[in-house]
Structure 1
């Protein structure tokens, strides 16, 4: 039997290892390969010219532009990248529901290093600031040099659908491109350098941001509230206690770790409207240089949504829930049922601020404000959730002196003693006193007007008190009359019953 053997060109058999070894191609074969490559390139070029001419004559301009972008994207992705030694890292704007720390740090870092080679930049300005803020514009590139290595940064934007439920129109990302041999250098040196530089720059700028919810995302603006502890009208002893407590909190990182407790602290500010609760929050913010997250619980529709929102807050921040007694029904935990139809509940709120998810962050402060402390559930305001309770009272002589010093720039005045005496007998808020100081900058006129205002309010209170006492006296008299009538009826009924009993006994005889 004869077995046909296929013809094998340029090969010979190696008996020792029973493998084939291919001879190197000859010069003639190399020339043939080159000719075939050139012929293929010429064919492709001719075809491209024909397609270009046809597209120019028959296809709309918008279609040609879109086709060109897609073709260039295909070539860059499937052809050029295979032969490139470049490596690209992508930093998305968000990490799940939280901000991406390296994205924010890189944005701040690049804003301080943008040079003239960038053709388009994004310029903004705060009305209360003198300097301009310069940042990279979308689709622009910037080349940074660190320790002799060149890095190319680019800002990209991905458009979202118009019906996006979070109200966002785009999601942004930064791309960092460099030689692939520097990958470890970037992770171990360049990116930590960017984070440290941005933190230093942030501390030097000392800007505070106010975050509010738009959908399920936090949107920020710069907070320029001028309140400080020196300008807040409250008792000096309470103010000193609060400052010491804040200082102790920010210095006890290792202590919280040692005892196994989340590094957070809660403050409850309670008092009548106009007593300065919001101003005190602004003073705390400016003192610590923490960002504020202003949370309106009426915008939260479920426990799961609240958890997502709180996970989106950053470290070194203050979560503020104002008028918590009016936000949602957080008064009676026992009145809630298990079938809450996905709504926000008190138990869900407590778990969000003090449960497992609350430990996903460091150095955080929670502040609640209320006008009615007595209606809040005890579980909401217990130590561990609301560690410090601060009562914001009506204006005192000490608070009055602070306001006079701020608004009228005086510390001594003949009318101050009259104001001090009146303010001890009148319930007046710092907001009302401030309004009187804004009437005129002349201390004589302003303090004289305040004396008249306090005296008028004292007389009004005395009249109201007199009317209340008169009303209570009338009510007491009316109540006494009713009691006397009831007593007379009872006596008459008893006498009637006694007489009836006597008649009955006589009849029996």
Structure 2
């Protein structure tokens, strides 16, 4: 070994030995301090030493905690999503998880694992840390669940302090936007329904969810093509107008009314909208809600980018504040029944869809369905509450061709013309056509079965029209008879009053006559 090489070797050996001695001394000092010094003095030394080292450090550290009080920290959740997509081969430990409701396996950084991210040619060091805290319970209004925690998780970000403005003004906003887009792309659409037994107290209701696996898409929806295109354009326009809604001072929401006979595809259209926008569905059953305050609380607990559905609005609950005198008297005779009935008023419901509470959230769609549009209160139908009215009609020739393509991969058949002629003459719903097409895998047998069904349906419709006409005539006769009875009763009442007046007059005359005789 040459003298220069030997000299370098001895120097390296001395440095390593010195580092080892210092490390050993530090460990001894740490052990002695931990065993013999009070905790307050230990903290004083620790923070003093850290403050001394920080004076010479060129780096800045930011701590992003998992939650702030009872609310989740949006930046923490965003960094989890962002860093998951940035994981490289340099990381040696990953945490793998999959919940029951998720369709994919998730990977994230393991505890205390470090990861370097580069943004605008600047290095950022990330590390996931956790520390033990006293066990505590709290109720989350965002997830509507009771949670117990004994660990405090946080993401630690370290970077050169000269890039602080870059982090606050560009890096964090970039992470938030990235995670929002990614989360929406990978989102599993859920269907929420009311759960009476899962509230904060036994007297409250809350939402519970399942995955929405409904396969309905606009491409397979048996609707009029023009109406379908109109709906899709309106949805695209709505989701792209965030700044416009803010500019005009209007809540970012859109109301739809789907009306038409049963079986015309109202529920399928709702599922298609949810799949198209990747929005969750909240199925609101008004009969499960006790009061206007419960209605407001449920509204506040719904998430942004969601669809609120109120089906069969005409018959789900009586929304009338403006009773006639007769209705008021009838209500007075049913106090016991009214005490058990839902206490949602029309004014409370309108405030929910178009008042101050409607602004609690962004990018929401409210969909109402009804079989009888004429039975709805006019106050519900005006723009701002139900902005778009969509008539779900009976099956059309174009709707039938789409169903034939979906169910039997048919674009042409020698029976199509006959079936389309039947469709123009007989009212039949898309659901009924689909049911007939499902009955056999052989297209010829299925289509001939559909033609036979048309013949049966025609007779049923004619019989139904005759019954409806007879019922209408019966009601008209009953109404006429009631009017006649009222008229007769009125005449009898007048005659009775006239007889009473005559009797009073006769008695008065007789009394006067008796007085004259006495005189």
Trace 1:247-262 onto structure 2 (pairs within 5 A): 247-262=236-251
1:276 aligns with 2:274: no
* In 1: Cα distance, 2:268 partner to 2:132 partner: 38
103, 107, 116: which one aligns with 1:145: 116
Trace 1:89-488 onto structure 2 (pairs within 5 A): 89-92=64-67, 101-113=74-86, 117-118=92-93, 120-124=95-99, 131-135=104-108, 140-146=111-117, 147-154=122-129, 166-170=144-148, 174-178=153-157, 186-202=167-183, 204-205=185-186, 208-212=189-193, 215=199, 222-329=211-318, 331-335=319-323, 343-466=343-466
- Offset at 1:479? 12
- Offset at 1:449? 1.0
Corresponding residue number in structure 2 for 1:34: none
Q: Deviations over 1:122-152 (max 9, x none)?
A: 234779x6x5333568xx4443323323222
* In 2: Cα distance, 1:45 partner to 1:479 partner: 97
* In 1: Cα distance, 2:451 partner to 2:264 partner: 20
- Offset at 1:384? 1.0
Larger radius of gyration: 1
Report if the CA contact (8 A) 2:109-2:128 is conserved: no
| Structure 2: segments with no counterpart, 5+ residues | 1-27, 55-60, 200-204, 332-337, 482-519
Report if the CA contact (8 A) 1:107-1:135 is conserved: yes
* In 1: Cα distance, 2:426 partner to 2:413 partner: 20
- Offset at 1:193? 2.9
* In 2: Cα distance, 1:180 partner to 1:282 partner: 46
Structure 1 residues 77 and 195, CA gap change in structure 2 (3 angstroms): farther
Report if the CA contact (8 A) 1:124-1:134 is conserved: no
| Structure 1: segments with no counterpart, 5+ residues | 1-37, 49-70, 482-509
Report if the CA contact (8 A) 2:123-2:159 is conserved: no
Secondary structure of the residue aligned to 2:219 is: coil
Report if the CA contact (8 A) 2:65-2:76 is conserved: no
- Offset at 1:450? 0.9
- Offset at 1:439? 1.2
Question: Matched residue pairs, number?
Answer: 415
* In 2: Cα distance, 1:315 partner to 1:343 partner: 27
- Normalising by structure 2, we get a TM-score of 0.65
- Offset at 1:264? 1.9
Secondary structure of the residue aligned to 1:225 is: coil
Q: Deviations over 1:407-443 (max 9, x none)?
A: 1111221222222222333332211211111112221
61, 81, 88: which one aligns with 2:63: 88
* In 2: Cα distance, 1:474 partner to 1:174 partner: 73
* In 1: Cα distance, 2:383 partner to 2:209 partner: 31
* In 2: Cα distance, 1:480 partner to 1:380 partner: 33
Report if the CA contact (8 A) 2:70-2:138 is conserved: no
- Offset at 1:195? 1.1
* In 2: Cα distance, 1:383 partner to 1:478 partner: 39
Bigger mean CA deviation after superposition, 235-244 or 108-117:
108-117
- Offset at 1:369? 1.5
Give the aligned CA root-mean-square deviation in angstroms.
4.6
- Offset at 1:444? 0.3
Q: Deviations over 1:353-399 (max 9, x none)?
A: 22223234433221112223333322222211101111212222232
* In 2: Cα distance, 1:318 partner to 1:40 partner: 58
